[in-house]
């Protein structure tokens, strides 16, 4: 039996420990959990409607770096249409009932602390799935099959992701128990609104961890979405490692 929830995952930064960008020395993996009914009935129609209203069609992929650098379709927007688009997009995120789990890895500290540091992507997958599984358990859905949609990155990277994913689900996690997840690797060309939302969230979260005193309106909106089960356990919705 499939669960009532679906999970979308995207990243910010890269997981390389050999070449670390001094301006962005972190890797972020963002998990966006939504009820399928909310996603199908509300989120997808609203995002498609916003694309139609702004661009005249729904073939535009909402990619954070393209929006930020005004590339592709976003280069065609003058100031007022751009502000209207950003305001409407922010409102969709505010209105969407979803739960966010983000894992942020400081690659410099990770290398300094461990002689043989683990792959940041593998760490992110484990910490993220553990927290998503906790959320599902609290909602009585952990025994049902939950699909986790990740963006395709290339044949080699996708195979590595699937191997790490299967390892965690087979018991390579803090509870030593199997997780009932199935990974779906999805090409960006599929134009998945869920993956686009996860992509929009990852970098603002990373920037907040990197520069917490810097103004970050996107993070202020997202922070209300973090998984918070109301326990004394810190780091449920936002896990910073090490």
- Rounded to 10 degrees, the C-alpha dihedral 150/151/153/154 comes to 80
CA distances from 123 to 20, 226, 242 (A): 17, 19, 10
pLDDT above 90 for 227: yes
| pLDDT tens-digit readout, 123-170 | 999 999 999 999 999 999 999 999 999 999 889 989 999 999 999 999
pLDDT above 80 for 234: no
What pLDDT shows up at residue 150? 95
Which ranges in the chain belong to alpha helices (H)? 36-38, 44-55, 64-68, 79-95, 107-113, 120-138, 155-169, 193-210, 217-222
Percent of the chain with pLDDT over 70: 97
| pLDDT tens-digit readout, 50-98 | 999 999 999 999 999 999 999 999 999 999 999 999 999 999 999 999 9
Q: According to the 3-state scheme, what is the secondary structure of 135-178? A: HHHHCCCCCCEEEEEEECCCHHHHHHHHHHHHHHHCCCCCCCCC
Domains and CATH numbers, the chain: 2-36+99-241 (3.30.420)
| pLDDT tens-digit readout, 1-33 | 899 999 999 999 988 888 889 999 999 999 999
């Amino acid at each position: 039996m499939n669960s009532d929830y679906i999970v979308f995952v995207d990243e910010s930064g890269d997981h390389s420990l050999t070449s670390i960008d001094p301006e962005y020395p972190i890797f972020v993996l963002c998990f966006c959990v939504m009820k399928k009914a909310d996603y199908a009935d509300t989120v997808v129609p609203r995002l498609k409607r916003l694309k139609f209203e702004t661009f005249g069609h729904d073939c535009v992929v909402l990619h954070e770096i393209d929006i930020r650098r005004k590339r592709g379709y976003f280069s065609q927007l003058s100031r007022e249409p751009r502000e209207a688009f950003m305001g409407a997009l922010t409102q969709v995120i505010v209105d969407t009932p979803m739960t966010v789990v983000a894992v942020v890895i400081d690659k410099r500290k990770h290398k300094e602390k461990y002689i043989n540091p683990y792959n940041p992507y593998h760490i992110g997958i484990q910490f993220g799935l553990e927290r998503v599984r906790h959320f599902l358990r609290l909602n009585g859905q952990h025994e049902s099959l939950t699909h986790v949609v990740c963006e395709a990155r290339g044949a080699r990277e996708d195979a590595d992701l699937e191997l790490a994913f299967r390892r965690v689900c087979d018991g390579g996690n803090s509870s030593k128990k199997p997780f009932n997840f199935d990974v779906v690797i999805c090409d960006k060309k599929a134009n998945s609104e869920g993956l686009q939302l996860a992509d929009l969230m990852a970098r603002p979260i990373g920037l907040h961890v990197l520069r917490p005193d810097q103004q970050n309106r996107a993070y202020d909106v997202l922070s209300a979405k973090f998984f918070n089960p109301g326990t004394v356990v810190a780091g449920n919705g936002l896990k910073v490692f090490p």
